[in-house]
């Protein structure tokens, strides 16, 4: 599969679609998932155009996983989480829906399941407040 520069994450990287940014550096962008499975659910993407794990450069993978680790620690603190789920999907059969490499960072609490995907976007004020908690923990 070749990279489609019209995917939603490519548009976010170009500033064509707004996002609630949590972290950004020269190589990586992290932002709030607009349909979160839990409070604090965020996404970490390389700025490099890569469909998935197969075609990403070693440099992009390294930069992205290091930021994923940083965000996992910040989310655990910010949401007093008992654990963190890190997810990364490849190909439609693997559950990938947006064909730009990305990692999900999801704070988890004992005995609390993930919210189902309903297609309803979270209120922007909630996303901004959750992003501020994560930024404060960075």
CATH number (domain holding residue 113): 3.30.428.10
pLDDT of residue 49: 98
Q: What share of the chain is helix, strand, coil (3-state, %, to 5)?
A: 30, 20, 50
Domain of residue 26: give its range: 8-137
Position 1 confidence tier, pLDDT thresholds 50, 70, 90: confident
Q: What is the pLDDT of residues 31-52, one digit of tens each?
A: 999 999 999 999 999 999 999 9
Residue 110 lies in a domain: yes
The total number of structural domains that make up the chain: 1
**Domain assignment present for 66:** yes
CB atoms < 10 A from the CB of 127, how many?
A: 23
Q: Outline where 14-104 has alpha helix (H).
A: 58-78
* Catalytic positions: 102
Phi-psi label, residue 85: left if phi above 0, alpha if psi -120 to 50, beta otherwise: beta
Backbone angles phi, psi at 11, to 5 degrees: -65, -40
Residue 1 lies in a domain: no
């Amino acid at each position: 599969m070749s990279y489609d520069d019209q995917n939603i994450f490519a548009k976010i990287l170009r500033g064509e679609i707004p996002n609630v940014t949590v972290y950004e550096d020269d190589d990586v962008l992290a932002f709030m998932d607009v349909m979160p499975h839990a409070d604090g659910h965020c996404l970490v993407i390389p700025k490099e155009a890569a469909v998935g794990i197969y075609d990403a450069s070693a440099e992009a993978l390294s930069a992205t996983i290091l930021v994923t680790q940083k965000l996992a620690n910040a989310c655990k603190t910010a949401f007093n989480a008992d654990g963190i789920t890190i997810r990364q999907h490849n190909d439609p059969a693997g559950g990938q829906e947006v064909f730009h490499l990305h990692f999900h960072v999801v704070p988890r609490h004992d005995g609390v399941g993930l919210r189902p995907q309903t297609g309803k976007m979270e209120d922007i004020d909630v996303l901004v407040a959750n992003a501020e908690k994560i930024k404060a923990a960075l």
